[in-house]
Amino acid sequence: MLEPLLIAGFVVSLFVGYNIGGATTGPAFGPAVGSGVLSKVAAAALMSVFFFAGAWTVGRRVVSTLGEDLVSGASVFTLETSAIALFFIGGALFVGNYAGVPASTSMTAVGAIAGLGVASGTLDWAVMGEIVTWWVVAPIVGFWVSGVVGRYLYPAINRRVAVDSSEGPLLELDRSGAVPVPRAGPNTTRREVAGAAVVVGIGCLMAFSSGTSNIANAIAPLFAVGVEMDLLILLGGAAVAVGAFTIARRTLDTLGNDITDLPLTAAIVVAVVSSTIVVALSAIGIPASFVIIATMSIVGLGWGRATRSTTVSEGVRGEEQPAVSVGALTAEEPGEEVPDIGEEDPEDVPETADLFDPSTTGRVILMQNVVPLLSTVGALVAFWLLFGVL
């Protein structure tokens, strides 16, 4: 017969997985949804499949080591402490998802486990310091790389890629046969299909990467107390899928539409920059702050394109010019010469407000710091009470 605490642990673990699905689907597929390549349902389906693939393969290593490296005493994980840690991970993530802002599951989970380590005196501060250092550096790198691309390289990339969004659907279902077959829309170009395939493929890579690291955030505490890993991965993957199909709709809106208007070329830039950084961090064994890196890449690209338009409006003809509201970066044609900053026609530059929303960005950055803080402080206080420190 299952102990009540173990049942509670399973319930909270599923709740954490549900919120991971809500928090990570937006960064992975928000650019593709925002640029009109995928529907929210298709994004959720791809997220579910590739997250599970990452969890079932590489994710096992992260599950096995999370409790061993961050906390020096594996015996500190009991049914009671595991349920408490999972409760604060899931509760904090739910706050971010409810606000429509995806929070870092790695930061939230590591914060809760660190609270357990501090309260029990088993936290490895050297490991914690290395993780936190990369958490600070990686989003800054993502922001500035994307910002430089948006300010200096975006028009040239857009002309070469030439993946402007055409009118009408990108894909249609051909129902003439026994099995519906997806086909290109009536106005879809071959370049657009290729660009769409790239951005969807990179989104799938990001979903896979998320599975390799984030599955541990939902199930590692229960694995530490002896629950079989295969069962936990299956249950965790199912919970992530439910979150991707439900609560992730809010984060897809935030990262796909509210922060910055993403044409297909911009979606590709964001996906390449953020996925490269996430894979690099995973290669050196750092639990990547997946959501923060992807979000700051989106913010950086929007900021870079916005400051480019500001430079143009102030530099053309030596006086300030009114900003324009045309989607100029998506209207560029292949083969045209790329002008230097300050030499463009103002009608070829997008309006700053169309590319970068400071109020939404501020809300995102605020919540992405508040959510891990809630998890860390809440868990620390709870474990202090549990161990009799308070």
Alpha carbons 61 and 63: distance in angstroms, whole number: 5
Q: What is the pTM assigned to this prediction? A: 0.70
Q: What is the pLDDT of residues 18-43, one digit of tens each?
A: 988 887 888 788 777 876 778 888 89
pLDDT for the residue numbered 223 = 86
Q: What is the largest CA-CA distance in the chain?
A: 80
Question: Confidence class of residue 312 from pLDDT cuts 50, 70 and 90?
Answer: very low
Decide if 125 contacts 275 (C-beta within 8 A): no
- pLDDT (0 to 100) of residue 388: 64
Sign of the C-alpha dihedral computed for residues 6, 7, 13 and 16 taken in this order: negative
| Total count of domains within the chain | 1
As to burial, measured by CB atoms within 10 angstroms (0-12 exposed, 13-18 middle, 19+ buried), residue 172 is middle
Predicted confidence (pLDDT) per residue in 266-276, tens digit: 777 877 888 78
The answer to whether the CB of 143 falls within 8 A of the CB of 296 is: yes
Least confident of 24-38, 147-161, 201-215: 24-38
Question: 33-44 burial by CB neighbour count: b if 16+ within 10 A, else e?
Answer: bbbbbbebeebb
Please choose, from the candidates 44, 41, 3, 10, the residue with its C-alpha nearest in 3D space to the C-alpha of residue 25: 44
**Average pLDDT for 158-173:** 62
- Phi, psi (deg, nearest 5) at residue 172: -130, 155
Determine the average pLDDT of the residues in 343-357: 47
Whether 10 and 218 have beta carbons less than 8 Å apart is answered as no
- Name the band, by pLDDT with cuts 50, 70 and 90, for residue 328: very low
Mean per-residue pLDDT, 42-66? 88
- Spell out the residues 6+ positions from residue 216 whose beta carbon is closer than 8 angstroms to its own: 59, 62, 63, 66, 109, 287
Give the model's pLDDT for residue 161: 65
Is the Cβ–Cβ distance between 211 and 2 less than 8 Å? no
* pLDDT at position 357 over 50: yes
Residues spanned by the domain of 42? 4-386
